[in-house]
């Protein structure tokens, strides 16, 4: 009986000693001389490893011209202002300047100005020196000696058409081609008809034109003028159509 009690006490004492020497996982931190470092938990809002964030960064603390990092993007540096020591730009190509001068030596404004001047010159050249007033008139030819010649008024670009009739009003045909004494006044006629045309090539030209009528013994002399140079009048009346009456009975009466 005593032996059993002594054995029980010995086992109990040995168990307590074994428990003191064995370190449990829960009691290890308290008995360790240097406590193990606790795992680092990332703070709320902190960026992952290798990434930068702009949260909490004071803009005034950043240096001027240094790129600010935020959201993984790098902001561009501000443009550098030009200074007086910057190098000059390269001069333009001499060959390009020569080609440009050969293709267009004048500016568009100069070209428009020259074209306007050419237009004004053309208007001045085409404008008549006097205003032309065309008329349809009739005259009676006087075949008596000493009588005045019939005056035919014409102008440049305004030919005169003449028709010959006898005393009864019947047409009197031309018997031959009319002849002009001035090369600047050209007569045209239609054969076997009483019609002829006088054309003036220059202004202020004058001269006589001889007309031969069929069956008439004497020629008819006409005084033709394309303008009067000794007058300041600004108008000139032109005989666009002139009927010349011969005081005789013609072959067609």
Better pLDDT: 155 or 66: 155
Q: Does the structure show a pLDDT above 60 at 18?
A: no
Better pLDDT: 37 or 239: 239
Q: How confident is the model at residue 201 (pLDDT cuts 50, 70, 90)?
A: very high
Report pLDDT for 246: 96
**β-sheet with 179-180: strand ranges across:** 151-153, 220-225, 206-211, 179-180
CA 139 to mean position of chain CA atoms: 58
Q: What percent of the chain has pLDDT over 70?
A: 67
Sort strands 195-200 and 206-211 into parallel, antiparallel or unpaired: unpaired
Look at the pTM and tell me if it is higher than 0.75: no
Report pLDDT for 236: 92
Q: What is the pLDDT of residues 103-126, one digit of tens each?
A: 888 888 998 999 999 999 998 888
Strands (E), 59-130: 69-70, 73-74
Contact indicator for 157, 149 with CB cutoff of 8 Å:
no
Report pLDDT for 89: 78
Q: How confident is the model at residue 94 (pLDDT cuts 50, 70, 90)?
A: confident
**Element (H or E) spanning 126, and its range?**
helix 108-126
Q: What is the average pLDDT value for the chain, to the nearest integer?
A: 79
Report pLDDT for 103: 81
Q: What percent of the chain has pLDDT over 90?
A: 47
Average pLDDT over residues 34-38: 48
Cα–Cα distance, 209 to 185 (Å, whole number): 9
Report pLDDT for 161: 97
Q: What is the pLDDT of residues 74-83, one digit of tens each?
A: 555 566 676 6
What are the structural domains, with CATH classification, of the chain? 131-245 (2.60.40)
């Amino acid at each position: 009986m005593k032996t059993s009690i002594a054995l029980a006490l010995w086992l109990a004492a040995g168990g307590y000693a074994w428990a003191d020497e064995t370190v449990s996982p829960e009691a290890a931190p308290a008995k360790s001389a240097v406590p193990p470092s606790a795992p680092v938990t990332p703070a709320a809002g902190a960026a992952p490893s290798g990434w930068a964030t702009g949260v909490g960064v004071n803009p005034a603390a950043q240096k001027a011209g240094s790129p600010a990092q935020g959201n993984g993007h790098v902001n561009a540096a501000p443009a550098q202002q030009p200074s007086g020591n910057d190098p000059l730009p390269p001069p333009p190509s001499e060959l390009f300047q020569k080609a440009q001068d050969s293709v267009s030596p004048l500016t568009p404004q100069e070209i428009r100005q020259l074209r306007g001047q050419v237009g004004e010159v053309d208007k001045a050249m085409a404008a008549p020196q006097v205003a032309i007033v065309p008329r349809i008139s009739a005259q009676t030819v006087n075949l008596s000696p000493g009588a005045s010649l019939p005056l035919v008024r014409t102008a440049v670009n305004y030919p005169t058409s003449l028709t010959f009739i006898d005393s009864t009003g019947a047409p009197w045909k031309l018997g031959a081609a009319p002849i002009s004494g001035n090369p600047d006044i050209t007569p045209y006629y239609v054969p076997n008809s009483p019609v002829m045309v006088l054309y003036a090539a220059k202004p202020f030209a004058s001269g006589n034109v001889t007309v031969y009528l069929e069956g008439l013994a004497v020629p008819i002399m006409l005084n033709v003028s394309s303008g009067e140079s000794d007058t300041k009048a600004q108008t000139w009346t032109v005989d666009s159509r002139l009927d010349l009456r011969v005081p005789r009975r013609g072959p067609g009466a």
